[in-house]
C-alpha cells in the first residue's frame, strides 16, 4: 500500500493541465447547449404529448419513446456517423454532433417532466383562465406554465446532473471533453489511476456545484409565491440573529 501511494505521480496530470481545462470547458459547453436546447424542445414535446390532436400527439409520443428507449451512446454514434453526414455530406465536427445528440436525448426526458408538471396544476386554473376568454396558448403561458415550472425545478435539476455525467459518452466520437483528457493521459503514460481519478474528482466537483445551485433555485422558488416571504430565505441569518 505504501509503495502504491509512493508511486502515484500527479505531476503527469499537471503536465497535461491545459488538456483537462479544455476538457472541463468542452464538457460544460456540451452540457449547457444540450440542456438549454433540451428544455426548449422538451417544452414543445411535453405540450405536444398533452395535445388531443393526433398528428401532434403521436409524433411527440414516438419521439419520446425512441429517445428514452434507445441508449444515448447509440444515438451519439448514429447522429455523428450517419445522420449528419447524410444530411450535410460531411461531418460537422464532434461538438455539433455531441451537442445535438445530448439535446435530443435530454429533450425526451424533459418532455416527460414538463408534461407531468403541467398535469399537476389543478384543472380549475385552466378553467378559470379559459372562462375569462383566454385562448389555450395564453392560458398556458401566463397561468399554467409559471405555476408548473416551480414543480418542475427538482426533476429538471436531476436531469441537468444526469446530462452532465452522460456528456462523457461523447468521448467515443473523439470529442475533447473531460473524460477524453483522461484517456489521452492514460494512453501517454500507460497509467490509469491518476488520470481517471482526476477525471472522477473533476466530475464530482462539477456535480457538487450544480447540486448547490439547484438547491438554491429550489429554495428560491418552491417556498412561496409571495415575494416578501421568498426574500426571507436570504435574510434568514440576520433575522434569526436579531430575534
Q: What is the DSSP string of 98-159?
A: HHHHHHHHHHHHHHHHHHHHHHTS-HHHHHHHHHTT--HHHHIIIIIHHHHHHHHHHHHHHH
Tell me if 143 contacts another protein by CB under 8 A: yes
Tell whether residue 223 is a contact of another protein (CB under 8 A).
Answer: no
Min CB(142)–another protein separation in Å: 6
Least distance CB 127 / another protein (angstroms): 6
d(CA 124, CA 76): 42
Nearer CB in complex with another protein: 15/131: 131
Q: Are 214 and 157 in contact (CB under 8 A)?
A: yes
Q: Other C-beta atoms within 10 Å of 42: how many?
A: 26
Tell me the closest approach of the beta carbon of residue 49 to another protein, in angstroms. Answer: 22
Supply the minimum distance, in Å, between the C-beta of residue 15 and another protein. 54
Instruction: Tell me which of 51, 125, 158, 211 binds another protein, using CB under 8 A.
Output: 125
Does position 222 bind another protein by CB under 8 A?
no
**Burial class, 20, CB count within 10 angstroms (exposed 0-12 / middle 13-18 / buried 19+):** buried
Which three three-digit cell numbers place residue 93?
Answer: 465536427
Q: Residue 138, interface with another protein (CB under 8 A)?
A: yes
In the complex with another protein, which residue's Cβ is closer, 58 or 142? 142
Q: Are 174 and 94 in contact (CB under 8 A)?
A: yes
**For residues 146-165, which are near another protein according to CB under 8 A?**
146-147
Q: Which stretch binds another protein (CB under 8 A): 52-60, 99-107, 160-168, 223-231?
A: 223-231
Residue 132 sits in the site that holds another protein (CB under 8 A):
yes
C-beta of residue 35 within 8 angstroms of C-beta of residue 106: yes
Q: Is 122 in the site for another protein (CB under 8 A)?
A: yes
Helices (H), 49-93: 54-69, 72-77, 84-88
Tell the smallest beta-carbon distance from residue 130 to another protein (Å).
7
Binding residues (CB under 8 A) for another protein: these are 122, 124-125, 127-135, 138, 142-143, 146-147, 224-226
Amino acid at each position: 500500500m505504501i509503495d502504491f501511494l509512493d508511486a502515484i505521480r500527479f505531476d503527469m496530470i499537471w503536465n497535461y493541465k491545459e488538456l483537462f481545462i479544455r476538457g472541463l470547458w468542452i464538457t460544460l459547453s456540451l452540457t449547457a447547449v444540450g440542456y438549454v436546447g433540451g428544455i426548449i424542445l422538451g417544452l414543445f414535446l411535453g405540450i405536444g404529448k398533452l395535445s388531443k390532436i393526433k398528428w401532434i400527439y403521436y409524433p411527440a409520443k414516438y419521439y419520446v419513446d425512441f429517445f428514452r428507449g434507445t441508449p444515448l451512446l447509440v444515438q451519439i454514434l448514429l447522429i455523428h456517423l450517419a445522420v449528419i453526414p447524410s444530411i450535410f455530406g460531411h461531418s460537422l465536427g464532434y461538438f455539433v454532433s455531441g451537442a445535438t445528440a445530448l439535446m435530443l436525448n435530454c429533450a425526451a426526458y424533459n418532455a416527460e417532466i414538463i408534461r407531468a408538471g403541467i398535469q399537476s396544476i389543478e384543472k380549475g386554473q385552466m378553467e378559470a383562465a379559459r372562462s375569462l376568454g383566454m385562448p389555450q396558448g395564453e392560458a398556458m403561458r401566463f397561468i399554467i406554465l409559471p405555476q408548473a415550472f416551480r414543480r418542475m425545478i427538482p426533476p429538471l435539476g436531476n436531469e441537468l446532473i444526469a446530462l452532465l455525467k452522460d456528456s462523457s459518452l461523447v468521448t467515443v466520437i473523439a470529442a475533447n471533453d473531460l473524460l477524453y483528457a483522461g484517456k489521452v493521459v492514460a494512453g501517454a503514460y500507460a497509467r490509469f489511476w491518476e488520470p481517471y481519478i482526476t477525471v472522477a474528482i473533476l466530475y464530482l466537483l462539477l456535480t457538487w456545484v450544480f447540486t448547490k445551485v439547484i438547491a438554491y433555485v429550489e429554495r428560491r422558488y418552491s417556498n412561496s409565491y409571495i415575494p416578501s416571504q421568498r426574500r426571507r430565505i436570504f435574510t434568514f441569518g440576520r433575522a434569526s440573529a436579531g430575534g
